[in-house]
Amino acid sequence: MPKSNIHPTWYPEAKVFCDGQVIFTIGSTVPEIYIDVWSGNHPFYTGSQTIIDSEGRVDRFMKKYGLSSETEKTS
């Protein structure tokens, strides 16, 4: 049994908001949580992340250490 008057109030159904919409509920010590990024809109999890190699750094690294990609090996 926890001691009385020393623990914060527990909200078992705290709402998590992103862009003004309720995303999910979770247990928390605050009734509402506002977030900017979550797995539903983050590029890594949505599959819209792209790797930009505008200066050819990957190719330079591969040449410097004598490595080749799989596409070069099959050619």
Block residue for tokens 């159904």: 13
User: Among the CATH numbers 1.10.10.10, 3.30.300.130, 3.40.50.300, 4.10.80.400, which is that of 1-47?
Assistant: 4.10.80.400
In tens, the pLDDT along 1-55 reads 667 888 899 999 999 999 889 999 999 999 999 998 888 888 877 887 776 666 6
Residue among 12, 45, 49 nearest 31 (CA) = 12
Instruction: Count the helix, strand and coil residues of the chain and give each as a percent rounded to the nearest 5.
Output: 25, 25, 50
Q: Residue 74's pLDDT is what?
A: 54
